[in-house]
Amino acid sequence: MQISFTLNGRPTTVEVEPATLVAELLREQLHLTGTHIGCDTSQCGACVVHLNGLPVKSCTLLAPALDGATLLTIEGLQGAPGSNQMHPMQEAFREHHGLQCGFCTPGMLMTAVALATEKPDLTEADVRHGLEGNICRCTGYQNIVVSVMAGAAAMNAAKGE
Amino acid sequence: MKPFAYHQPSQIPDAAKLLTSIEDSKLVAGGMTLIPTLKQRLANPPALVDLSKLGNLKGITDDGATITIGAMTPHAVVAASKLVQSKIPGLAVLASMIGDPAVRSRGTIGGSVANNDPAADYPAGVLGLGATIVTSTREIAADKFFLGLFETALEVSEIITAIRFPVPLKAGYAKFKAPASRYALVGVFVAKFADGVRVAVTGAGSGVFRVPPMEAALSGNFDPTAVAAIKIDTDGLTSDIHAEADYRAHLVTVMAKRAVDAALS
């Protein structure tokens, strides 16, 4: 079947089998390998993308659900348009050492951006509860939480400018 | 996953017709249970019937003494609804505790209730509040809807369109979650109405059930102390890798106390 959607701001039309997962479509057909497949059972969150602005696990989403939708992947995350800068949340993860091996990081960032967008005045408890669906096997989460708090504050500051 | 045909009907009768005409075809709402099941090849339906293009299945309406939630309304929307938060806060809390944010973006109330997972949260809220399941052909009282492990009163071609909740005087939900899956090891929903109290338990057995002794005690005195000494029988409770039946029975009492506490706060 043919599906059309907006991918990181660009109109995209692809031919897919209905039994295609969005994570597979992104990585294998569209060669956007920033979206990672960790567990492939919707537990780990490495594959989180934004569907119509909401965080979803792309390993548990059928490609037909994209038809007519807007999809943002880690490749589409950026700072001020045209600035060639990282997104404030990415910058915060670098600054606060919010990763070690980096495998979970794309999903962490997508979930974190969604959390900060939904609730600008995030508390640490909100962040820990909000990251329940994202598993990191390296860091013990401490620096991830610190990074998300800092990234959310930076997103707020950028909004005020 | 094995290949399947994909249908996106725009009318409920068309969806019902597909379910009847294609043997073993399955409905897909948010897909939070069905897609993992397909990936593990525990189900190999020849066709999926996607409910997302049907109109009028999303949204929450205030009917005064009741609230009606469309079957395709995602958990995140119920959790964030000012209407649900003001009229049945315990139900908004329940929705906010399902899975994780990504699951709550996609998973729907209709899908959860139709699936009737023995450890799902919504069945406790639906049975605890004595809600009505509105389908494409009729209305079913919660007390007659849940028939045990993944079983409901739904016919093959019957589609849930909405759930109608009576607004209680007070209601609360408490769950002890399995840390990895975030499903309820035990979850208890309590609701106080003018004519009595209802208590529904999920996670403890093969399906959601009510606890009449707790309901009687709370109807006389709606306070956590009223249920503190009530122990439920371990017969029929689940024993598995996560917890033995006697531990689950203990948790029912503890979660019931916490749910009453939540309802009063």
| Burial annotation B144-174 (CB, 10 A radius, 16+ → b, else e) | ebbeeeeebebeebbbbbbbbbebbebbbbb
Average pLDDT for A139-154: 97
Using pLDDT thresholds of 50, 70 and 90, give the confidence band for residue B94: very high
- B31 chain-A contacts, CB cut-off 8 A: 60-62, 65
pLDDT in tens, A32-86: 999 999 999 899 999 999 999 999 999 999 999 999 999 999 999 998 877 889 9
B13 touches chain A (CB under 8 A): no
The secondary structure of B168-212, three-state, reads CCEEEEEEEECCCCCCEEEEEEEEEECCEEEEEEECCECCCEECH
Say if the Cβ atoms of A18 and B4 lie within 8 Å. Answer: yes
pLDDT for residue A38: 96
Task: Please judge whether A18 and B48 are an interchain contact, meaning their C-beta atoms are less than 8 angstroms apart.
Answer: yes
Kindly list the residues from chain B whose CB atom is less than 8 angstroms away from the CB atom of residue A51. 105
Closest by CA to B190, choosing from B260, B251, B118, B120, is B260
A contacts of B48 (beta carbons < 8 Å) = 18, 62
Residue with tokens 């209730």: B113
Rounded CA-CA distance B226/B213 in Å is: 10
Residue A161's pLDDT is what? 66
Taking a C-beta distance cutoff of 8 angstroms, is the pair A66, A29 a contact? no
Which among A18, A42, A48 is the nearest to B36, CB-wise? A42
pLDDT confidence tier of residue B117, bands split at 50, 70 and 90: very high
Residue A106: which of A27, A39, A48 has the closest Cα?
A48
Strands B26-28 and B47-50 come out as: parallel
Least CB–CB distance from B35: residue in A17, A60, A132? A60
Mind telling me how many Å the CA of B111 is from chain A's nearest CA?
Answer: 15
Q: Do A18 and B31 touch (CB under 8 A)?
A: no
Q: What is the pLDDT of residue B192?
A: 98
Enumerate residues 6+ apart whose C-beta is below 8 A from B210.
B127, B143, B198, B199, B200, B201
Q: How many residues appear in chain B?
A: 265
Percent of chain B residues past pLDDT 90, beyond the cut: 97
Q: Does B53 touch chain A (CB under 8 A)?
A: no
The reported pLDDT for the residue numbered B69 is 98
Question: Choosing among B28, B35, B37, B96, which should be mutated to test the A contact, i.e. which has the most A CBs within 10 A?
Answer: B35
Name all domains of chain B by residue range, CATH numbers in brackets.
5-50 (3.30.43.10), 60-264 (3.30.465.10)
**Could you report the per-residue pLDDT of A107-135, keeping only the tens digit for each?**
999 999 999 999 989 999 999 999 999 99
Looking at residue B59, its pLDDT comes to 96
The model's pLDDT over B199-235, given as tens digits with 9 standing for 90+, comes to: 999 999 999 999 999 999 999 999 999 999 999 999 9
B34: closest chain A residue by CA = A60
Q: What is the ipTM of this complex?
A: 0.93
Interacting residues of B171 by C-beta distance below 8 A, sequence separation 6+: B88, B89, B90, B91, B128, B129, B189, B190, B191, B192, B263
Is B50–A43 a contact, with Cβ atoms under 8 angstroms apart? Answer: no
pLDDT above 90 for A93: yes
Q: Does B222 touch chain A (CB under 8 A)?
A: no
CB of B32 less than 8 A from some CB of A: yes
Place of tokens 């091996």: A101
Q: What percent of chain B has pLDDT over 70?
A: 100
In this prediction the pTM is 0.95
Which member of B8, B38, B102 has the closest CB to residue A55?
B102
